[in-house]
Amino acid sequence: MLNQFTSYLGSNLTPGTANNQLWALIYVLIIFAGVSVAVMAMNWLERKALAHFQIRLGPMRVGPHGLLQPFADALKLMLKEDIIPAEADQFVFWVAPLIGLLASFTVYTVIPFGPSQAVSDMNIGILFMLGVSSLGVLGIVVAGWASNSHYPLIGALRSSAQMVSYEVAMGLAVVSAILMTSFNETGTGTLSMIGIVQSQQQQGIWFIFKFFPLGLIAFAIFAIAMVAETNRAPFDMAEAESELTAGYHTEYSGLRWSLFMLAEYAAMIAVSAIAVTLWLGGWMRPFPNLLHAPAWDFLFSLFPGLTFLGLAAIALIGTARMPSHSFFRIQRIGLAVFAALLGIIALLLLVIAVAGRSADASLAARFNEGIGYVYWFVLKVAVFMYLFIWYRATWPRYRFDQLMKIGWKVMLPISLGVLMVTAIVGVLVK
Amino acid sequence: MVPITTFHYLVVAAALFVLGVIGVLTRRNVVIVLMSIELILNAVNLNLVAFSRMWGNLNGQVFSIFVTVDAAAEAAVGLGILIAFFRNRETINVDEIDLLKW
Amino acid sequence: MNPVLNSGMAPVATPWFFYVLGGLAVASGVAVITRRNAVHAALALIVTLLSVAGLYLMLYAPFVAGVQIIVYAGGIMVLFLFVIMLVNIERSSKERRFNRMWPVGLAAACALMALFVSAIVKGKTVLTDPRTGQALWPDIIAKLPESSNTQQIAGMLYGEAGRMGQYTFAFEIASLLLLVAILGAVIMTKKKI
């Protein structure tokens, strides 16, 4: 076991390729913990951002500026009474949220956070992602049927019809991105996620800008389809609170409902990560080929520390603006502690960036590189997460027939057209 | 432990095939009969891929892709026929779908 | 580790994986044909399909495994679940499970199983391949590289007729078949043609 632990430390392969089960397990646990933290942060950010869009404040009481609200929500959901409808099918009712959760979390085994920071670099990575995310539909269908009541059944059938329709357009957009990986010397593309980012690096351009505007249209199709795929606004007819009393998870209460919510947010993060990997250059920092000097490398490696320093500064400003009444003393202290924590992380990152600025194989340099990859990847995914919240705050939802019309009559022909034109242009340019 | 050879995969495929045949021949519910047909097709696919591994070329795998495509088409058409019949006769029982019997 | 598969390439999994996946596939197959509730049978079929996909991964066929998950587990089973919900009659879950002819069916299936067992066992022990002189299912398994599986299958499916593509024509016929199936399913389920 110790041998497995130490033999991986010097290699630059993923644990799956290096056949190292212990490190694969460690990566899986890190991803699981990271996604759970990200889901809680996303929950907080959604409530605060929606509130600020609607010119109100959102949760302010539970922690300083509502920072402990997700913990309070999780505790409440765990302690709630577990109600199962009388005529519901017990086994299927229990298993339905697990199917959705499994499908959402299994996608993370192929998502690359760096050139060797993935659980396993399967050579059919994209195919695996498409297949496993289509298993999520099964969880929703079964959940709606098992509740034995007509609102969940209609919501589940609508939601699964929507997801299946937009999967087709999503798959075709993905195929046109894969097609772009084959425009190299050998003429052979790759389906592996790490290979896709490396081919973007090799061709020197993010695929969103390749053969402008073809890459952009393919990216737009995927961006719209992924919002429909995760049942988020403006495509959230299935769980529309005003129309269907919460759709397929109406009859679920407490911990089971939180499993559905966890699966939905995890799926959102997963498809955003896929979009970042396929079109936005994955873990690469901006301009890796154009601005290649060590000075530029050092400048871009300061970004993680500076980001956390900025967040710490915002928290400090929040502390300073807190009312100086004795009722707010605990909140003020809490926010100051949070700011100090962010500041310590920022200092640590800046120290690593300065110590590892030479490109040798020392420990600090490798840490610096790894942190850089993960940081740029997470930053791009965070932009997508904010876009999801922005869509929900701004746009009204589509009616169901409008939704299906867009999926089949607009997105599918456009994605087919982009695929054909990309292939023709690729052959002509060669 | 005995190393896993082609023989083991053939045994699993034969077991799935026989289970599918039992399902087709003995169940009353038409949907379950169709699902047993899918079991049979999966057993055939497993056989093809196991032999492709044995011979070292990819013909078996390509053939199994075509079998999968066929199974999808047949499931769609079969379920369409079932829905059309259900709309007329209100039953999905193979014992009661006997209009052509003399 | 498996010494037979170890020549030249790391094996995909230990024999333990095969027994778990194979046992799960057969057990779920039994559940498909014996459950009274059609939704339970559909869920068991999903487990069977996913374990067969795992077996494909062990057989160095990652592309076929991916196609299996996308088409079968993600597409066909959703279709089955929709239809089960549409035709779900309450009385069907309270009736007998097996039809009137079940002894005959079971006897025929047992005869088929006997045929299979004799064929497989004879192939391992008695019969010999006329070309190599070994048993028909030899113990030594040929190597298939995993890293270019998709590219080679793509070459066989889409390549030029002389060079690589042995199945290009069959691929076009398969797409025509899918078109016919789509048209057939749509027309079959319309209320007024």
In chain A, the percentage of residues whose pLDDT exceeds 70 is: 97
Instruction: Give B93's strand partners.
Output: B29
Nearest to C83 among B36, B79, B94 (CB): B79
CB pairs under 8 A between B and C: 250
Of A243-252, A312-321, B10-19, B82-91, the range with the lowest mean pLDDT is A243-252
What mean pLDDT comes out for the span C143-164? 76
Decide which of A397 and C148 is more confident.
A397
pLDDT for C131 = 65
User: In whole angstroms, what is the distance from residue C168 CA to residue A355 CA?
Assistant: 57
Chain B: touching chains (3 or more CB pairs < 8 Å): C
Please answer whether residues A280 and A380 qualify as being in contact, where contact means their C-beta atoms are separated by less than 8 angstroms: yes
User: Using one digit for the tens of pLDDT, what is the confidence trace for A378-396?
Assistant: 999 999 999 999 999 999 9
Contact call for C and B: 3+ CB–CB distances under 8 Å = yes
User: In whole angstroms, what is the distance from residue C36 CA to residue B28 CA?
Assistant: 10
**Nearest-CA residue of chain B relative to C157?**
B62
pLDDT at C2 over 60: no
Give the closest residue to A106 by CA, choosing from A144, A143, A155, A139: A139
Decide which of B36 and A294 is more confident.
B36
- Within a 10 A sphere around the Cβ of A316, how many other Cβ atoms? 17
∠ at Cα A132 (A375, C145), nearest 5°? 85
Please answer whether residues A89 and A148 qualify as being in contact, where contact means their C-beta atoms are separated by less than 8 angstroms: yes
Six-digit token string for C61: 């066929």
What mean pLDDT comes out for the span A103-125? 88
Rounded to a whole number, what is the distance in Å from the CA of C46 to chain B's nearest CA?
A: 10
Q: Is C60–B62 a contact, with Cβ atoms under 8 angstroms apart?
A: no
What contacts 24+ positions apart, CB below 8 Å, involve A200-208? A200/A281, A200/A282, A200/A284, A201/A281, A201/A284, A201/A288, A201/A289, A204/A289, A204/A290, A206/A279, A206/A280, A206/A281, A207/A177, A207/A180, A207/A278, A207/A279, A207/A281, A208/A279, A208/A280
- Measured CA to CA in angstroms, residue C38 lies from A87, C77, C93, C185 at distances of 16, 12, 8, 22
**Stretch 25-84 of chain B: residues touching chain C, C-beta under 8 Å:** 25-29, 31-32, 34-36, 38-39, 42, 45-46, 49-50, 52-56, 58-59, 61-62, 64-66, 68-77, 79-84
Q: Is A157–C66 a contact, with Cβ atoms under 8 angstroms apart?
A: no
> How confident is residue A153, by pLDDT bands cut at 50, 70 and 90?
confident
Please answer whether residues A14 and A119 qualify as being in contact, where contact means their C-beta atoms are separated by less than 8 angstroms: yes
Six-digit token string for A374: 């993960």
Question: How is residue C75 annotated by DSSP?
Answer: I
> How confident is residue A363, by pLDDT bands cut at 50, 70 and 90?
confident
What mean pLDDT comes out for the span A79-89? 81
pLDDT at A416 over 60: yes
Q: Is A95–C69 a contact, with Cβ atoms under 8 angstroms apart?
A: no
pLDDT for A265 = 93
Decide which of A417 and A81 is more confident.
A417
Give chain C's largest Cα–Cα span. 63
Architecture of domain B29-91: Orthogonal Bundle (1.10)
pLDDT for B1 = 63
Please answer whether residues A421 and A214 qualify as being in contact, where contact means their C-beta atoms are separated by less than 8 angstroms: yes
pLDDT for A86 = 78
User: In whole angstroms, what is the distance from residue A13 CA to residue A15 CA?
Assistant: 6
- Measured CA to CA in angstroms, residue A349 lies from A113, A358, A409 at distances of 18, 15, 49
> How confident is residue A128, by pLDDT bands cut at 50, 70 and 90?
very high
- Within a 10 A sphere around the Cβ of A379, how many other Cβ atoms? 14
- Within a 10 A sphere around the Cβ of C129, how many other Cβ atoms? 12
Q: Is B27–C149 a contact, with Cβ atoms under 8 angstroms apart?
A: no
> How confident is residue C5, by pLDDT bands cut at 50, 70 and 90?
very low
**For residue A213, cis peptide bond before it (omega within 30 degrees of 0):** yes
- Highest-confidence segment of A65-74, A353-362, C19-28, C116-125: C19-28
Residue with tokens 């409530």: A47
Rounded to a whole number, what is the distance in Å from the CA of A4 to chain C's nearest CA?
A: 15
Mean pLDDT computed over every residue of chain C: 81
For chain B, give every domain's residue range.
Answer: 29-91
User: In whole angstroms, what is the distance from residue A393 CA to residue A388 CA?
Assistant: 9
Cβ of residue B89 closer than 8 Å to a chain C Cβ: no
Cβ of residue C105 closer than 8 Å to a chain B Cβ: yes
Which CATH number is C12-95 given?
1.20.120.1200
Give the closest residue to A273 by CA, choosing from A376, A395, A176: A376
Of A23-27, A156-160, C94-98, the range with the lowest mean pLDDT is C94-98
**Stretch 4-23 of chain B: residues touching chain C, C-beta under 8 Å:** 4-12, 14-23
Rg (CA), chain A: 23
Alpha helices in A230-254 (DSSP H): 241-244
Please answer whether residues A412 and A172 qualify as being in contact, where contact means their C-beta atoms are separated by less than 8 angstroms: yes
> How confident is residue C30, by pLDDT bands cut at 50, 70 and 90?
very high
Of A14-28, A164-178, A257-271, A308-322, the range with the lowest mean pLDDT is A14-28
Decide which of C21 and B6 is more confident.
C21
User: In whole angstroms, what is the distance from residue A78 CA to residue A75 CA?
Assistant: 5
Please answer whether residues A247 and A239 qualify as being in contact, where contact means their C-beta atoms are separated by less than 8 angstroms: yes
**Stretch 38-57 of chain C: residues touching chain B, C-beta under 8 Å:** 38, 41-42, 45, 48-49, 52, 55-56
Q: Is B93 helix (H, G, I), strand (E, B) or coil?
A: strand
Distinct helix (H) and strand (E) counts, chain B: 3, 0
What mean pLDDT comes out for the span A283-297? 83
pLDDT for A358 = 73
User: Using one digit for the tens of pLDDT, what is the confidence trace for C44-81?
Assistant: 999 999 999 999 988 889 999 999 999 999 999 999 99
> How confident is residue A310, by pLDDT bands cut at 50, 70 and 90?
very high
Q: Which amino acid is at C58?
A: M
Q: Is C98 helix (H, G, I), strand (E, B) or coil?
A: strand
pLDDT at A171 over 90: yes
User: In whole angstroms, what is the distance from residue A337 CA to residue A345 CA?
Assistant: 12
Which residues, 6 or more positions from A11, have their beta carbon under 8 angstroms from its beta carbon? A18, A116
- CA-CA-CA-CA dihedral for A362, A365, A366, A372, to nearest 10: 180
> How confident is residue C107, by pLDDT bands cut at 50, 70 and 90?
very high
Cβ of residue B96 closer than 8 Å to a chain C Cβ: no
> How confident is residue A241, by pLDDT bands cut at 50, 70 and 90?
low
Decide which of B98 and A130 is more confident.
A130
Please answer whether residues A17 and A11 qualify as being in contact, where contact means their C-beta atoms are separated by less than 8 angstroms: no
User: In whole angstroms, what is the distance from residue A301 CA to residue A295 CA?
Assistant: 10
Decide which of A409 and C120 is more confident.
A409
Q: Which residues of A touch C (CB under 8 A)?
A: 19, 89, 91-92, 95, 122-124, 127-128, 130-132, 134-135, 137-138, 141-142, 145-146, 153, 157, 160, 164, 167, 188, 191
Contact call for A and B: 3+ CB–CB distances under 8 Å = no
User: Using one digit for the tens of pLDDT, what is the confidence trace for B43-55?
Assistant: 999 999 999 888 8
**Stretch 46-105 of chain C: residues touching chain A, C-beta under 8 Å:** 46, 62-63, 65-67, 69-70, 73-75, 77-78, 81-82, 85
Which residues, 6 or more positions from A149, have their beta carbon under 8 angstroms from its beta carbon? A85, A250, A251
Of A155-164, A271-280, A304-313, the range with the lowest mean pLDDT is A155-164
Please answer whether residues A120 and A15 qualify as being in contact, where contact means their C-beta atoms are separated by less than 8 angstroms: yes
- Give C82's contacts in chain A (Cβ within 8 Å): 141, 157, 160
Q: Is C55–B9 a contact, with Cβ atoms under 8 angstroms apart?
A: yes
Whether ipTM exceeds 0.85: yes
pLDDT at A242 over 80: no
Give the closest residue to A88 by CA, choosing from C39, C134, B60: C39
Q: Is C147–A123 a contact, with Cβ atoms under 8 angstroms apart?
A: yes
For chain C, give every domain's residue range.
Answer: 12-95, 145-193
Nearest to A160 among C69, C78, C150 (CB): C78
- Give C183's contacts in chain B (Cβ within 8 Å): none
Q: Which amino acid is at A212?
A: F
Mutate to test the interface with A, among C79, C85, C86 (most CBs of A within 10 A): C85
Please answer whether residues A114 and C53 qualify as being in contact, where contact means their C-beta atoms are separated by less than 8 angstroms: no
Alpha helices in C126-148 (DSSP H): none
CB pairs under 8 A between A and C: 74
Please answer whether residues A113 and A370 qualify as being in contact, where contact means their C-beta atoms are separated by less than 8 angstroms: no
User: Using one digit for the tens of pLDDT, what is the confidence trace for C117-145?
Assistant: 998 888 777 666 666 666 666 655 666 66
pLDDT for C89 = 64
User: Using one digit for the tens of pLDDT, what is the confidence trace for A32-45?
Assistant: 999 999 999 999 99
- Within a 10 A sphere around the Cβ of A45, how many other Cβ atoms? 18
Nearest to A124 among C10, C37, C63 (CB): C63
pLDDT for C4 = 37
pLDDT for C120 = 86
Please answer whether residues A278 and A190 qualify as being in contact, where contact means their C-beta atoms are separated by less than 8 angstroms: no
DSSP symbols for A53-120: HTTS----TTTGGGTTHHHHHHHHHHHS-----TTS-HHHHHHHHHHHHHHHHHGGGS--SSSS-SS-
Torsion angles phi and psi, residue A210, rounded to 5: -75, 140
pLDDT at A7 over 60: yes
